[in-house]
Each structure stands twice: as C-alpha cells, then as structure tokens.
Structure 1
Amino acid sequence: MPKRQYFKPFILRKNSSAQRKSMQIAVIEGIPATIIANILGGPILTAYLLFLHANSQQVGFVLAIPPLANMIQIAAAFFMQKMENRKLWILVTSIIHRSLWTMTGLIPFFVADHMQVAVFIGMFLVSFISTSISGVIWSSLISDLVPAQVRGRYFGIRNTIHWAFASVTLLIGGQILERAASEQTAFIILFSIAGLSTVWNAFELARYPNPPFEKSQAATGAERLLKPLKDRSFMLATLFIAGFILLQNTAVPLFSFVMLDVLEISYTQLTVVTVVQMIVMMISYYYWGTLNSRIPTITLLLWSLPIIALSCVIWIGMEIIPVIVVLVLVHILLGVGQGGYNLLAFNFMIGETPKADRPMYIAMFSAFTGLTGFIGPMIGGALYEWSEGGSMWIQSYGISFFTGAAMLIVAVGIGPFILGRNKRRR
C-alpha cells in the first residue's frame, strides 16, 4: 500500500465522511492533552516534587499513583451499563483531571511547607482517578469510531503526531526550567501553559461525536465481571504483562529521579535525553503501527518487551562509557520498546476483546497492570531509600541493571510460552 494511503484518515477535506472527521477530532484533541502530560509530567513532575522537597519514597509513591488509579476502571465499567452519554462523561472527567493537576501549581502559594507534598498527593490522586474513569469510557468510544482494519496504522500515526508535540513541549519545558530567573518562576510559566491547554482540550472534547453504546448482554454484574476472568487466553496475557510491569516500574519511572538526584545532571541534559526518547518513540509508533497491519498484535507485543529490558540493563555501561552517552542509549532503547508496548497493549485491549463487553475487559487489564504498576515504583523508591549512603554504583546503575536482567529473563524465557500460547488460542 502506498505511504500516502496510511495518512488518508488524517487528511482534512470539506466532504470528509463523519467517521473520518471523528478520527481527525481524536487526533487534534490529543495534542493539548499531550502538552499537559509533558509540561507537568515525566521529568518535570519529578523536578516539581523535588522543588516541594519530596524524598525518594514520596517521589516513588506519586509516580505509582497513575497505574494505581486505573483500578477504579472496574467500577467505571459497571457504571457504563447505565450510561447513555459517553461523550458527556469523558468531557466531565477529563476536565476534572486536567484542572486539578494544573491547580497543583498553586500549592507553594497557599499551603504550608510541611503539608505541600501531602496536598499534592491528594490532588494528584483525585486527578488520576478522574482520568482513569475517562480512559475506559474513551477507549470504548474510540474503538467504535476507528475501523478494525486501520487501527494499527491509525493509532501508530496518531501517536507519532502526539509524540512530536510531546518532544517539543518537553524541550521547551526543560529550557524554561533551566533559563527562568528562579524555579518558582519556571513552574508558574509551565503551569500557566497547562492551564491554557486545559481550556483547549475541553473545547476539542466537546466536538467528539456520541455514537450509540452497545451494552453487555450479561444479565448481572457478576456475569459481566466474570467474562474476562473466564477468558483463559486473555487472562494469561494480562497476568504476564502485569508481572512484567511490576519489574519495569521498579526502575523505569525512577530514571528521572536517578538522573536529577543521584547523577546530578542538569535540567538541560535531562530534557535532551528525554526528548531523544520521545523522538525515537514518535518514529517507532509509525513503524510498529505499520507492522501491526501485517503481524499479530501479540507477536509484536512480545518483541517490544526485551527492548524495554535492555534499556535497564545497559545502565551498567557507565563503568566504561561517559554517563551522558549511556543515558542517550538507554532512552533510545526505551523509546523503541515503550513505543511498541504502548501502541500494542492498547490495540490488544480494543482489538482482541468482544465489543459489548470491551469496557470490562479493558478495566480488568487496567486493574491488574495498574496494581503491579503501583507496587513497582513503591519498591523502587524503597530500594533507593535503602541504598542511600551505600555504594554509589548501586544507586547510579545497580538497581536498574539487576531489574533489567530480571525483565530480560522474564521476557525471553517466559514470554514466548505465555503470549505465544495466547496467539495460538486466538
């Protein structure tokens, strides 16, 4: 298929079909959402927590909140059976999420120093519970809007566009942190940009269509809950991925903490290596999406996991290679691996699950991966707290290396048996 065909759903035309317009709206709406996530999240989130004087365990706990909040999706999936207006609930919960997150920027002005981290955690938790509710509803809606035969390519290109904005946003955010007169001034600017993007995002969300919702035919809530649990191939894949995420989140979410607090690199260096990751991820989304049009999702998902593991293993290169070179290599591998995982896990949830029961399948996947995703950073934060005052190599690369080695064993040694079996059953 010619390359221009891949971009067909994204071309704006006056006579575009309603379906194509919906797909275009989903692309545009994601741009301000991406700006907010990267102007307030990632390494900038870690920098803000350190500005509020958070310690490693508190940083780990905050980084663990987004996956933990995903467990609320099971309740959201039950609630969706009574829902008639998916668009309204997406709009309300998304506005709560982004408004509350943006309002955490007011904490230094209105909250006593000893309470700032605690108040941030409370607001951040409510914010991400809201977006988790929004996420399961949005996944159901977008799966109705995007035809199955173009999902791999569509989401690959959509993510490429969004990560292009993410890269630019993070680079600008890092320069603001580096060049502003003070950290406080820098964060005022960053949170102001997030506030404007929240308004833009709300406007775009209001443009979404609201197609009829096909509800589950299960007679009771217990039957709806048990459907994914009884799907052996789905649950095997879910439990395996959840276990891998437990290991991954012990190290990967704390990369920014290690770079800022242990290695003490500058904000500019931090944003440069993170932007490298985003650019690589942006490019990889396109190629993973293209491959997904020919190769099964489960197969590609299995390919992405060892790449993420290697991004942790090669931290040991600091023994013989300059730190900044190792960090660039780490983030290149992480960009390729996470680009594949993010796209393929989403396509797995919406593409290999029954339409009427999809919200519960998505919720179950998110609950299991969310629980292990929450535990991982907590373990990682505790490990870095324990290693303080110990050997520098353990803090700088030891924890990442040993975690990556365990991930590699799981991905290569166990993954083919679990996910390969899932593929054969499907």
Structure 2
Amino acid sequence: MRDIIKLKLYTRRKTSLQRRNLAIATWEGVPSVIFHTLLGGQFLTGYLLYLGATSGQLGFVLAITTFVNIAQIAVAFLIQRLTSRKWALVLFISLHRILWAFTGLVPFLFPQQYWVSAFIAFYVAAFLFNTVGAMLWNSLISDIVPARVRGRYFGIRNTFLNALGTLTMFIGGMLLDRFPESQGFLYLYIIVWVCALANIITFMFYPDVTFERSVESKFLPMLRKPLQDSSFIKATLFLASFLFLQNLVVPLYSYVMLELLKINYQTISLLSVSQTLTMMGSFYIWGNLNARYSNRRLLFWTLPIIAASILSWGLLSAFPQLPVLFSAHMLFGIGVGGFNQLAFNFMIGDTPKSERPMYMAMYSAITGVAAFFGPLLGGKVYEWIADWAKWAQVFGMQLVVGSAMIVLALVLGRRILRDV
C-alpha cells in the first residue's frame, strides 16, 4: 500500500512539473511573438523602405535569416558537449534579441547613406546568434513537451500566440498609419525593447532537462546519420524545393502591396490579421488530424493549399483588389499554418531522439539554403521587370511560381511524402 501511495504521489508531482514546464514554454512566447511581429513582415519591409532599401536589398534581408541555418550543423555537434542547454539558450537568445532591437537605433547612430548597410550588419549578426539559439530551443522544447501531447499542445500554443500576434500586428499598423514614419517606428521600437528584455527574463525560467546525447562522438559519423536516412533526406530535399518556389514570391508580398499597389499599413495589417486568424483556426484542426494521420501525409495535404493561395493572386486581373487579397492571405494562412506545424513535428517526432539535433540541423540547413535563394532571386526579378506592364509585376510571378508548385507537389510530393 505504501509503495502504491508513493507511486501516486510521484506521478502527480511529475504531471504537475510537466504542466508547469508547458506553461512556462507558452508564456515565454508572449513577449517573443510581440517582438517578432513588430520587427517582421510588413513592419520589416516598411522600415527598410524608410531606410532607403531597394527591392534587391530587401530580398537579401528576407533571405539571410534562412541561409545562416547552415551553421546549425556545427551547432548540433557542439551542443553535445554542453553541460547546460538552458543557459546556453539564454545567452544566444539574448544576443539575438538585443542585436535585432539595435536596428532601431540605426538612424540615430549613422549617417543616412549608411542606414541600410548598418541595418544589414546588425541584422545578420543577430541571426547568426539566432541560429544557435533556435537549435538549442528546438532540442530543449522537444524534451520538455511529451510526445503523446505534442500535436495538440503546439496546436493550442500556436493558436494562443498567433491571436496575440494578430492583435499586435493590427495595433502596429494603426501606429504607423497614425504617426509619421520616423515617429511611428520609434514607438514600435520602444515596445520591441521592452519585449526583448521581458523575453530574456522568461527564458531563465525554462527547465534544464536531461539531454540524451548522440551515440556518436565524432563529427563525420554524426553527420552521416541523417544523410544515410534515405526517407528523411528525400523528404527534406523535396520540402526544400517547394520552399524555394514559395519564397520567390511570398516574402515580397509586402513590397508589392506597399510599393506597387500603394496599400496603406493598416490595410496590410488587416490582410495579415485575416491570414493569422485562419492560421490559428487551422492549428487546432491540423493538430487533431495529426492524432489520426502521419506528419508526412498531412504535410502533403498542405502543399496544394499553399500553391492555390499563390495562384489566386491572378484573380486580380478580373476581380476587385481587396477581396482577392483577403482570400489569398486566408488560404495561405490555412496552408502554411499546417505546413509549419507539421514540418516541426516531422523534425522532432519522426527522428531518433539521440540524433535529433543533427537531424534538425540538416533539415534547417537544406531548407535554409533553398529559402535563402528564393527571396534573393525574387527581389532581383522585381528589379529586372521594373519596366514591364503593371500586371506582370503585381501577379505575373505568382502565376508562374504557383503553377510550378502544383506540378512539383503532384508529380513528386505524393511519392516522397507517403507514409513509411
């Protein structure tokens, strides 16, 4: 009887500790999502245009965040030697948050002709540190969240945080429309600095859970593990190809709307809000479907939805502007919400636990290179077609890219992402 009582008490304590850790991981996301929302998307595009960036420079900035993921391969090897993932995470996340927030000081620290260059320098440095932080967070969170609740937990977490991001996006858009650019961006960056500091503090409450290290102690044998997993590497290469096509156009939506369609910040924020709301609703649905179907099968189902959202820009040739853009953003929210959630579950759920850091690093590196060249090339294409007809600039690329994505998904996707 005494042993039974002890077992029940131990089980309750363990359950209570797990709930506490999950709550910390959720609340940590509050300042993080506000920080990232106000520094990304249309706010990033608008700030760079305010600093004087061209579409080519904008494409580079949007691309570099994924290219630096190559460094995660080295990070996956080096973290095997860490005694504490938590405090290494706090260090690198702090450097990322502070350096990215420093981009708001560029107009005060440098002459105007160096604004874009200075922004890029701070931005690249920030995301080099973020590469390490992201790897550590992925490794730590995969051990914090029990496998049996992973799909539904991330569905609920993503829904909650995206609701907050939606509100933040809308308020940020109103601020930029209400106040002149310099004053509006100053207000945004004040909020950003508060959230950066709050986010760093909340990371300190993360648990430092036990780390199951790789069975390999040398770099090359550890690197070969994911490379020799043919099912994993084929799926990763396919998803990288799809992301390359997607990133030719999607990261530059804000540029098209701000510069070519002359849509104001508040309207763009409403478009982003509609995308986020549908994404939030889809998280719960994709999470429940994930309890019945595999990550790979559901990933395949997201691909035609994403491609259709890009193709729907072509409807601008025959229908009013705003209804088409709202429809395109909402459809994209459904597709990309599922894709991001399922790709993350694919990385942390369909891979061996002891080798998971290197698997995640390989996935991030391969998809990161593909996603890097997408907006980089897309930005250059917009420079090349600057003298073309307006329809070609506004939705011509979307029609070409969306068609290619449909073909890729139907020809290769079904075969590569089948259940194994």
TM over 0.5: yes
Structure 2 Cα separation of the partners of residues 97 and 282 of structure 1:
26
Structure 1 Cα separation of the partners of residues 323 and 261 of structure 2:
13
CA shift at 1:219, angstroms?
A: 3.5
Partner of 1:111: 110
Structure 2 Cα separation of the partners of residues 328 and 14 of structure 1:
47
Residue deviations 1:266-325, cap 9 Å, x none?
111111101110111111111111111111111001001111111110111011111111
CA shift at 1:326, angstroms?
A: 0.9
Partner of 1:198: 196
Q: 1:240 aligns with which of 227, 231, 238?
A: 238
Residue 385 of structure 1: SS of its match in structure 2? helix
Point out the more displaced range, 336-345 or 14-23: 14-23
Residue 249 of structure 2: SS of its match in structure 1? helix
Residue 247 of structure 2: SS of its match in structure 1? helix
Partner of 1:131: 130
> Equivalences for 1:123-272 in 2 at 5 Å?
123-180=122-179, 182-272=180-270
Structure 1 Cα separation of the partners of residues 340 and 370 of structure 2:
16
Q: Summarize the Cα distance change of 1:331–1:75 in structure 2 as closer, same or farther, 3 Å threshold.
A: same
Amino acid at match of 2:206: Y
Structure 1 Cα separation of the partners of residues 129 and 161 of structure 2:
21
Matched-pair contact (CA < 8 Å) for 1:150–1:293: no
- TM-score of the two chains, using structure 2 as the length reference: 0.96
Partner of 1:91: 90
CA shift at 1:70, angstroms?
A: 1.2
CA shift at 1:114, angstroms?
A: 1.3
CA shift at 1:94, angstroms?
A: 0.7
Is the counterpart of residue 303 in structure 1 residue 301 in structure 2? yes
CA shift at 1:15, angstroms?
A: 10
Point out the more displaced range, 95-104 or 235-244: 95-104
Count how many residue pairs are aligned between Structure 1 and Structure 2.
409
Residue deviations 1:163-203, cap 9 Å, x none?
001100000000000001x1101001001101000111111
CA shift at 1:413, angstroms?
A: 2.2
Matched-pair contact (CA < 8 Å) for 1:86–1:141: yes
Matched-pair contact (CA < 8 Å) for 1:314–1:326: yes
Structure 1 Cα separation of the partners of residues 284 and 159 of structure 2:
6
Amino acid at match of 2:224: L
CA shift at 1:22, angstroms?
A: 0.5
Is the counterpart of residue 290 in structure 1 residue 288 in structure 2? yes
Matched-pair contact (CA < 8 Å) for 1:153–1:289: yes
Is the counterpart of residue 319 in structure 1 residue 317 in structure 2? yes
Residue 212 of structure 1: SS of its match in structure 2? coil
Amino acid at match of 1:271: S
Amino acid at match of 2:269: T
Partner of 1:341: 339
- TM-score of the two chains, using structure 1 as the length reference: 0.94
Structure 1 Cα separation of the partners of residues 71 and 322 of structure 2:
39
Partner of 1:389: 387
Partner of 1:7: none
Is the counterpart of residue 370 in structure 1 residue 368 in structure 2? yes
CA shift at 1:412, angstroms?
A: 2.0
Structure 2 Cα separation of the partners of residues 204 and 311 of structure 1:
36
Amino acid at match of 1:51: Y
Structure 1 Cα separation of the partners of residues 140 and 265 of structure 2:
38
Amino acid at match of 1:67: T
Structure 2 Cα separation of the partners of residues 305 and 411 of structure 1:
6
Structure 1 Cα separation of the partners of residues 128 and 340 of structure 2:
20
Structure 1 Cα separation of the partners of residues 184 and 359 of structure 2:
42
The list of structure 1 runs, each at least 4 consecutive aligned residues, that deviate by more than 2 angstroms after superposition, is 13-16
Instruction: Provide the alpha-carbon RMSD of the alignment.
Output: 1.2
CA shift at 1:243, angstroms?
A: 0.5
Amino acid at match of 2:202: E
Residue 17 of structure 1: SS of its match in structure 2? helix
